[in-house]
């Protein structure tokens, strides 16, 4: 499929897991893709090589999402390299968890910097490059809809901010033909949450479909929203969670 031919995308945290699959899928559909990473340089460069070997266009950029200036620069670099920006995917994320009383001010600040401050800055910067048909897609979490265990207040709070931001972006940018959506994955088999990890059986117990998601499940939804089918979807959140929040 090449419904994204001529489009330019930037995926934050595109070196591994869900972000890597999103970058691969957007490139498969014809988009030129900039992807950021924090420390997995080899994996980011390997994915860029793979996309180029398949005839696509891609670029890897080191950018710590805790630093809004780095994210801004990544967007500028991608837009300069490929001639504009049509699709922003805010995917980079961490998973702070543990007893409430053990959350440090540093962990609180860093989590909010990665999941909230940089996402706002990225959307603001991207909007300067986007024209009619632009898409801002942020990866949230099903834990904002259902939180079945203690120890995840900080994570859930930081991901919940995307809902309000996305509603605001829909209002701010809708008149320019730009949409904003949150995609909320359920438990998805990645380094962050392996299907064979210690929490996996507990989490699977909440999923009517009885299985972990694959990064492809999330990437397919993102690609749909980024393409022509997503033109009238904005200001809301879409669960890709196997029914976890049902
Ligand atoms: P992974 O841990 O597998 O990958 C995380 C990605 O984010 C990597 O590319 C990593 O870069 C990047 N990243 C982490 N910290 C930073 C940072 N400070 N700056 C830039 N990039 C950073 O996680 P997933 O693929 O599972 O998660 C992707 C998104 O999906 C996250 O936002 C997560 O919260 C969300 N999510 C995941 C679920 C799951 O079950 N897996 C469920 C619900 C939501 P590097 O490789 O360089 O470290």
Is it the case that residue 2 has pLDDT exceeding 90?
A: no
Residues with CB under 6 A from ligand 1: 13, 15-19, 36-40, 63-66, 91-94, 114, 139, 141, 185, 187-188, 190-193
- Tell me which fold the domain 8-237 belongs to: Rossmann fold (3.40.50)
Contacts of residue 158, Cβ cutoff 8 Å, sequence gap at least 6: 111, 112, 114, 115, 116
Report helix, strand or coil for 5.
coil
| Ligand 1: centre distance to CA 180 (Å) | 20
Tens digit of pLDDT for each residue in 57-88? Answer: 999 999 999 999 999 999 999 999 999 999 99
**Nearest protein CA to atom 2 of ligand 1, as residue:** 192
ipTM of the complex: 0.99
| Ligand 1: centre distance to CA 17 (Å) | 7
Report helix, strand or coil for 218.
helix
CA distance 186 to 123: 24
Domain range summary for the chain, segments of one domain joined by +: 8-237
Contacts of residue 90, Cβ cutoff 8 Å, sequence gap at least 6: 12, 118, 119, 122, 123, 136, 137, 138, 139, 162
Tens digit of pLDDT for each residue in 125-176? Answer: 999 999 999 999 999 999 999 999 999 999 999 999 999 999 999 999 999 9
Contact 92, 42 (CB under 8 A): no
Rg of the chain (C-alpha set):
17
Maximum alpha-carbon separation in the chain: 51
| Ligand 1: centre distance to CA 185 (Å) | 12
| This model's pTM is above 0.90 | yes
CA distance 88 to 128: 12
Rounded (5°) CA angle 52-218-207: 150
Percent of all residues in the chain with a pLDDT value above 90, rounded to a whole number: 99
Atom of ligand 1 nearest to the CA of 16: 9
155: annotated active-site residue: yes
- DSSP track, 141-210: -GGGT---SSS-HHHHHHHHHHHHHHHHHHHHHGGGT-EEEEEEE-SB-SSSS-TTSTTHHHHHTT-TT-
Atom of ligand 1 nearest to the CA of 15: 9
């Amino acid at each position: 499929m090449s419904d994204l031919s001529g489009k330019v995308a930037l995926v934050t945290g595109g070196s591994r897991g869900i972000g890597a699959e999103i970058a691969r899928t957007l490139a498969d559909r014809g988009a030129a893709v900039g992807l950021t990473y924090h420390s997995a340089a080899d994996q980011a460069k390997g994915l860029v090589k793979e996309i180029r070997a398949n005839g696509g266009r891609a670029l890897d950029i080191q950018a710590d999402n805790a630093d809004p200036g780095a994210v801004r620069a990544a967007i500028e670099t991608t837009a300069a390299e490929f001639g504009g920006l049509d699709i922003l995917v805010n995917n980079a994320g961490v998973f702070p968890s543990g007893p409430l009383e053990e959350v440090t001010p540093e962990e609180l600040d860093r989590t909010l910097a990665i999941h909230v401050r940089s996402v706002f800055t990225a959307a603001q910067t991207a909007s300067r490059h986007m024209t009619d048909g632009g898409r801002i897609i942020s990866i949230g979490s099903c834990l904002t809809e259902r939180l079945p265990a203690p120890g995840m207040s900080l994570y859930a709070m930081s991901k919940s901010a995307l809902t309000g931001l996305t509603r605001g972006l829909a209002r701010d940018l809708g008149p320019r033909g730009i949409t904003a959506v949150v995609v909320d994955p359920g438990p998805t088999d990645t380094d962050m949450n392996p299907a064979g990890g210690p929490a996996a059986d507990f989490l699977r117990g909440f999923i009517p479909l009885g299985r972990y998601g694959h990064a492809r499940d999330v990437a397919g939804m993102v690609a749909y929203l980024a393409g022509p089918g997503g033109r009238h979807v904005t200001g809301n959140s879409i669960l890709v969670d196997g029914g976890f929040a049902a």
